[in-house]
Structure 1
Amino acid sequence: MRHFKIVLMGAGGVGKTSMATQFVEQTFDETYEPTIEEIHKKTISLDGEQCLLELIDTAGMEQFTQMRDLYIKKSDGFILVYSIVDPTTFEDVKSIREQIVRNKLSEQVPIVLVGNKKDLATGERAVERTSGAGLAARWPHCRFIETSAREFNDIEEVFVYAVQEIKAFQDMRKKRVSVLHKEATKRRKSTGKCQVM
């Protein structure tokens, strides 16, 4: 069974905890309690393979930046969540991704960008779907989706996308390492022949 460590990140109140609990327990809590850290686990079957997902639901508050850095370094992929009715949370995901790139020392990071609260889209929408899709298109290895944690709308897809992005990224990296290993072996062999001559 493959194990995937996925971190949910975003500003406070965007629905990270609601998404995780809907996915794992199929429950939605109407009250908002700020999260410091919660870890959820769920096994899913994807492409005939059992996958254990460890979901780290992080605090949306700025004072937990050091904890965030630790989660980033140890994680396989990320779910960045903003609220489609709050444009400041959309700006927040951009700086969170910069923090991820800094900690991972690479632009190549598996991410699912999620615009949550689409049940409030009629009349309250402040971030257009095209803005989210456009941002995701600029980031390598990034999928985009809009959801409603309240209505359990497209919640499972978020986590499936996250696993698919991580698997594709890991497979690509393995291929690259294999190619580099073959090239290095070829060079060693040709260098060895030259020395013999």
Structure 2
Amino acid sequence: MRHFKIILMGAGGVGKTSMTTQFVTEKFEETYEPTIEEIHRKTITLDGEQCMLELIDTAGMDQFSQMRDLYIRKGDGFILVYSIIDPTTFEDVKSIREQIVRNKLSEQVPIVLVGNKRDLAEHERAVEEEDGGQLAKRWSHCRFVETSAREHHEVEEVFAHVVRQIMEFENFRKNRVSALHKEASRRKRSSGKCCVM
């Protein structure tokens, strides 16, 4: 069984905990309690393969922002969540993504961008769906999904997307390492040949 560490990040109150709870228990909590850190585990079967997901639901409050580097170093993939009714949370995910890229030393990081709370009335919307889609296109290999944690809309898809991305990145890395080893072996063999006169 493969194990994946997935980190949920975003401002406080965007619905990270609600999404995680819906995914793990299929329940929606009406009350909001600020999270410091919660860890959940769930086994899923994806594309015929069993996967154990360790989900780290992080704090959204600024006083815990120094813990982000630790979460980022631990993570295999990331779910960045904003609320479609709060444009400041949309700005927050941009700086979180920059922090991830800085810590991972690469633009190539498995990320799913999530606009949550699409169940709320359309007149409450402050971030358009196409804004989220365009932002995800600017980020390398990033998927975008709008969800409703309350209605369980697209929640499963978010986690499936991030696991598939992690698998793709792992396969890419393995193939790259294998190709580098083959090239090194080929060079070693060719440099070991000598001509006798």
Establish whether TM, by shorter chain, passes 0.5: yes
- The equivalent residue for 1:168 is 168
Secondary structure of residue in 2 paired with 1:107: coil
- The equivalent residue for 2:31 is 31
CA contact (8 A) 1:10 1:96 kept: yes
Separation in 2, partners of 1:106, 1:23: 29
* Alignment CA distance shift 1:133-1:195 (3 Å): farther
Separation in 1, partners of 2:177, 2:64: 35
* Alignment CA distance shift 1:194-1:98 (3 Å): farther
For 1:107-134, what per-residue CA distance to the aligned partner results, in whole angstroms no more than 9, with x for missing partners? 1100000000001151111111111111
Secondary structure of residue in 2 paired with 1:64: helix
Percent identity for Structure 1 against Structure 2: 76
Q: TM-score, normalised by structure 2?
A: 0.96
Separation in 2, partners of 1:125, 1:195: 75
- The equivalent residue for 2:7 is 7
Separation in 2, partners of 1:188, 1:41: 46
Unmatched segments (≥5 aa) in structure 2: none
**Matched residue type, 1:66:** Q
Q: TM-score, normalised by structure 1?
A: 0.96
**Matched residue type, 1:136:** A
- The equivalent residue for 1:88 is 88
CA contact (8 A) 1:141 1:169 kept: no
Separation in 1, partners of 2:102, 2:139: 14
**Matched residue type, 1:4:** F
- The equivalent residue for 2:116 is 116
Separation in 2, partners of 1:144, 1:193: 53
Counterparts in 2 of 1:1-197, with a 5 A limit?
1-194=1-194
* Alignment CA distance shift 1:195-1:6 (3 Å): farther
Separation in 1, partners of 2:106, 2:83: 26
Task: Give the number of the structure whose residues are more often helix, by fraction.
Answer: 1
Shift of 1:141: 2.1
* Alignment CA distance shift 1:196-1:147 (3 Å): farther
For 1:72-106, what per-residue CA distance to the aligned partner results, in whole angstroms no more than 9, with x for missing partners? 10110000000011111001000000000111111
CA contact (8 A) 1:11 1:61 kept: yes
Question: After TM superposition, where is structure 1 displaced by more than 6 Å over at least 4 residues in a row?
Answer: none
* Alignment CA distance shift 1:36-1:190 (3 Å): same
* Alignment CA distance shift 1:195-1:170 (3 Å): farther
Separation in 1, partners of 2:196, 2:80: 56
Q: Considering only aligned residues, what root-mean-square deviation do their CA atoms show, in Å?
A: 1.3
Mean Cα deviation higher: 118-127 or 83-92: 118-127
